[in-house]
A and B are shown apart, each in its own frame.
Chain A
């Protein structure tokens, strides 16, 4: 294997707090070619849309800014992002054409895929982060990480994950900060030899299980076989992960300073939970443990969404769904706007952390594309997705604008633009018909 420069950097990280040793690391990475800096992508999603009251007295709580182009002003909802306006673009008017044909609450599944859900099982297609991870995710310990506040996959059209495999299978999201931390930075048990032999055993075991399972499959009825193929695909994928772990065995996981991380935060402490998830994504990027992350803040299923009550717990009065429904009422626009603002504040914290962390001659944010938004404008409306595209300044983005589009521009053009900036060699994505020229430098 041709070892890239950053592997050596990892070795230096052994036993030290990353935050402490950064100045030293900076010397190294400056010497390395700037052109080789990693390119990253991260997507953060929230459901049910935003405050967009048409009434003048509620104008200051509208999520979308006033004005257009470079001369726009944030309203209250996005004020926390003002210090970052040079690093981001607000996009309006976009939506997935396929999303416009399905129910108001059905669209979270396709935000990153643009798919037409097909067949009896309503199969999805591959998500943006996974395409990128497939092509250029090979250089990190983890191809990608998938997070959400509810966790798991949820159910079709009400999913609690943003990421889908090539075959359209949902990837379960992790909702416990401690599990994320353990995967990324936790110490593996046993000596290196023990770990190696366990990996070898895993490989043999999975081979044998796969063979055995094929014979089980043969005995099943047709419908059962279709369902059972999920299992076979999973075995194959984890075989690949085992191989990957073998390659990474000699490189210790980075050690990070866990002080200030609320690793045991859960649905009873939403503010800490979300902050910690953002922190973990930041640390994952900073340590180059992965370059692709998705994080779903809440899903559109009251029946399973444990995050629906977060605004209530945080003093915003109603559940996230009820806040969204109230958005057109006199006091509702403000209530929803304040919740929008709270989310923007947390998001701004994440962007700032990325921006304020040096990497090479720039900072982490200028090599990280962050997409933030929803697939509803207000509660049941599947058009005009509220969208913010941030970061990636040194990957060819031109920021600082508020751009409006009409329905001729499919939302997937954003995805395609992102893939192009990541230099992922694909010609198209979903139903995209071009790049968003206006945001490309």
Chain B
């Protein structure tokens, strides 16, 4: 039973990574598409992309922090 905490931490970390990967992948895909359609807006698109990616990454890292707390408890 004591291993269940580790199981939960591992599953949680994996799920958080899946979500973040999907999200950031979507952003990158849309940004590449946008840049291809409108090359003159590249710098604006890049800035927006980095901000959105950082926000998603932040949410994913909340999950990871909780998993680390769970695993090291």
Question: Do A and B belong to a common assembly?
Answer: no
Residues of B within 8 A of A (CB): none
Residues of A within 8 A of B (CB): none
